């Protein structure tokens, strides 16, 4: 038997979405954010939350604000341009005296709350 049950899925996004639904039901989770280890490094945490949010149809910052400054910084998108942009942003935050890891962790908390609100799940 197919692991996704009797549901027809035709795209990779549909497969991922169905997989998340099945895992959530199996583990008794209310939200796709449940089960994400809070101790992950901030960058890994935000990346995982972004994927889970996209899986439930929540648009991320690229779709909602189209922040052209950041998009222009990494064009064309490649490992090198992305790494350079990340390094630049980290240096900028550090020079401003910010705890970059803490700032990103705070953003992860906000992303988690937005996903749960989108799902209609209590924030507690």
Residues 102 and 43: beta-carbon distance below 8 Å: no
CA distances from residue 67 to 59, 96, 98, 109, 118 in whole angstroms, order as listed: 13, 21, 21, 21, 22
Name the least confident of 22-26, 101-105, 110-114.
Answer: 22-26
Alpha-carbon distance of 49 to 45, in angstroms, equals 6
> Tokens in use for 106?
């705070």
DSSP H or E segment with residue 61: helix 61-64
Q: Which residue has the higher pLDDT, 26 or 32?
A: 32
Indicate left, alpha or beta for 77 from its phi (over 0: left) and psi (-120 to 50: alpha).
beta
pTM strictly above 0.85: no
User: How many residues appear in the chain?
Assistant: 124
pLDDT for residue 5? 61
Confidence band of 101 (pLDDT split at 50, 70, 90): very high
pLDDT for 1: 41
């Amino acid at each position: 038997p197919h692991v996704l049950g009797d549901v027809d899925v035709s795209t990779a996004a549909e497969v991922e979405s169905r997989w998340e639904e099945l895992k959530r039901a199996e583990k008794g989770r209310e939200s796709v954010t449940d089960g994400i280890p809070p101790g992950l490094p901030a960058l890994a945490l935000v990346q995982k939350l972004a994927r889970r949010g996209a899986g439930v149809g929540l648009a991320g910052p690229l779709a909602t604000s189209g922040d052209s400054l950041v998009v222009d910084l990494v064009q064309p998108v490649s490992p090198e341009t992305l790494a350079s942009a990340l390094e630049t942003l980290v240096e900028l935050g550090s020079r401003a005296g910010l705890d970059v890891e803490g700032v990103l962790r705070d953003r992860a908390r906000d992303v988690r709350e937005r996903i749960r609100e989108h799902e209609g799940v209590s924030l507690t």
